[in-house]
Amino acid sequence: MAKTVSKGGNKKMATSSGDSQSNMYGAVAYFATLLTGVLMLLMKPEDKYVKYHAWQAILLGVVFGVLYFVALAFAAIPYVGWIVALMALPLLGLAYFILWLYCMWKAYSGEKFKLPVIGDFAEKQAAQ
């Protein structure tokens, strides 16, 4: 599901503030993904740890938003589409909820981890 990135055997990422405040802001970025991600980018533009988690949260929200839209689009197809949508929507909701909690927990614990595909983009954006 997600891979932990470690440097020199240490899973903890050095935060720019040196305290748990960056960890808290990183976790808050996932709270409402798009909204809080953008808010954290505006509040802590110099903190690379917060910036990384904010970008990853934004991308996570966008990806699941697109997946929900696709699942709802299947509901427009009579019978078979209804079944697909009725099966996909609860599974997407459960997957999102579990991943959401996991992301907040990892960010709060000070670990930098990458979600597949979107983690690389978030890392590039945080480096700028």
N- to C-terminal Cα separation, the chain:
26
For the whole prediction, is pTM greater than 0.85? no
pLDDT of residue 2: 52
Q: What is the pLDDT of residues 42-68, one digit of tens each?
A: 999 999 999 999 999 999 999 999 999
Give burial (CB, 10 Å; 0-12/13-18/19+) of 123.
middle
Q: Which amino acid, one-letter code, is at 58? A: I
- Count the neighbouring beta carbons within 10 Å of the beta carbon of residue 118: 17
